[in-house]
Amino acid sequence: SQTIHQWPATLVQPVGSPLSLECTVEGTSNPNLYWYRQAAGRGLQLLFYSVGIGQISSEVPQNLSASRPQDRQFILSSKKLLLSDSGFYLCAWSATRRVGTEAFFGQGTRLTVV
């Protein structure tokens, strides 16, 4: 069966420090991968998605970047964190891009920038 792992679960980082959040998927190949951010009590905002190795699309301009060095690995990064980068970050995968394909989510990372 397919599983998705995301770490760390919680992170407190000072302003200006770098960030690296990692997400890996097991049990499938060539997944579509997504990074979402969720502000407290709000819905999800899509940050990045990837349909293959090295293929990254950004949905919103921001201080963050994403990379997909391997088929089932998706990394969210920042060189210098801002206070506004605080939030709950979720990685997700889906098998195809058909309308009927559900996305499966990792456990999320709660990032607090201080």
Partner 1 sequence: AQKITQTQPGMFVQEKEAVTLDCTYDTSDPSYGLFWYKQPSSGEMIFLIYQGSYDQQNATEGRYSLNFQKARKSANLVISASQLGDSAMYFCAMREPSTDSNYQLIWGAGTKLIIKP
11 in contact with partner 1 (CB under 8 A) = no
Q: Which residues contact 41 (CB under 8 A, 6 or more apart)?
A: none
- Only one residue has tokens 């999320």, namely 108
Q: Which segment (21-29, 67-75, 76-84, 91-99) binds partner 1 by CB under 8 A? A: 91-99
* β-bridge partners, 98: none
Distances (CA, A) of 8 to 58, 82, 89: 22, 19, 10
Q: Which segment (15-23, 62-70, 76-84, 87-95) binds partner 1 by CB under 8 A? A: 87-95
As measured in angstroms, the least distance from the Cβ of 27 to partner 1 is 16
Applying CB under 8 A, which residues contact partner 1? 32, 34, 41-44, 46, 49, 57, 59, 88, 90, 92, 97-108, 110
